[in-house]
Structure 1
Amino acid sequence: MRFRDRVVIVTGAASGIGAATARAFSHEGAKVVLVDRDRARLDEVASELPHEHTLSCTVDVAQQAEVEGMVENAVARFGGLDVLFNNAGVLASGSVTETDAATWRRVMAADVDAVFFASRAAMPHLERSRGCIVNTASVSGLGGDLGLAAYNAAKGAIVNLTRAMAIDHGRAGVRVNAVCPTFTRTGMTEDMIDDGTTVPLFRRHIPLDRIGEPEDVARVVLFLASADAGFVTGVNLPVDGGLSAGNGQPLYGS
């Protein structure tokens, strides 16, 4: 019960990593604010959690006013804020020549602007509680991929924004870290999981010989948000089964 009576905001909470992390925080005693655009799926997740300790907010995290209102509603309902988990995001394929301006802006709005808006709105409350932020970055923010220019740029921005916020707000007692998952079983990757080729390809490059599960990432988020990581800030932690341990050469026997 590391988070008994702590107030936690989870964006992108209707599925995947967000839903798994919201459940994990709630299981350890937190009062959880679920944030997503998908009301129906958000209600499904909320129905699994204690009603008196759960608040659901239908929000487009790319919209500043909606995010600011959500943070104020959370604080009004539960009396403060201890953890912000910036998890919502979108994926788009394509090189820079294959990516139109509208797609570029959509990815930047959901993956970068949303983190800026939520962190900015939450920071005064987190300074009062000496709380923390955990961002969902990606191994795609630590290195490049083929045909993911916008996503690589967005997640690279989150990697360095995590470092910048850790430096800027550490003396106020706020820690800021990020998780960097590899290919993980979520709604975003559902089509690729079902195509019959992507999962075997990733498994050949992941030493632990499997793709990630949402619960794998959730456990690391809770560690970074807990007192166990009380002297950890500015870290972008790969959750990748050993993928980033390699130098790019084929694994023996793969």
Structure 2
Amino acid sequence: MPRSRPRDVPASLEERLAQLDALQQALGVRFRDRGVLEVALRHDSFAHERGAGTEHYERLEFLGDAVLNLVVSDYLFRQYPERSEGELAKERARLVSEAALAHLGRRLRLGSYLLLGRGEERGGGRERPGLLADAVEAVLGAVYVDAGYGVAHALATRWVGELLQSLPARAEDFKSHLQERLQGTGRQPRYRIVEAVGPDHARSFRVRVEVDGDVVGEGRGRSKKEAEQAAAAEALRWLDAVERRRARRS
């Protein structure tokens, strides 16, 4: 009896090309080399099953993460000239968080286009937020490689606009989020002021947050509280990255 295919895995080259065409339409981008997009959708579990030399999306994810952070930083800098560095850092952390990127991944139906190994497929990888977030960054990296920064910038800017409309508008308490996530591991964040400059009426603070003696985030703000929130936001991104790497290895 033939083994059934996992959900959404194409049965033929023609079906796969149709999937890639549908994704390009959703992105609003036409790839000159669809092979780059194919790599962006190939999880390392799939590549490992195929054997040595099979490319997967981690390098493109690395590149896409850098492009996304630059585009979001540039967008916020120009859009909100009245906001401080700490406020901009908090908003950037919200827009590039795992939850935000997974939201984009679900809207693009990226899970249905991914190529996964059998274990990842059985474990529900297509719906896993961390995996969807990784795939969003990998796809953006693929756009950058294939079409250049201008096209990648336009796509990421459109995503930022969508997220600003769809995500909750309230400011998040990043310190509380970090505290809650670390509590389960028995660790505690430690905040340390490393710089305080300027006159009393216009002070600027720089704060670092440490976990087990390692610096995992740094932020600036017009008050200690604002700088601590910015540092905690950066630490949450570090924690997201650690947990995503751990999940890929499991």
> What TM-score, normalized to structure 1?
0.28
> What TM-score, normalized to structure 2?
0.28
Larger % of strand: which?
1
Report the structure number with the largest CA radius of gyration: 2
Larger % of helix: which?
2
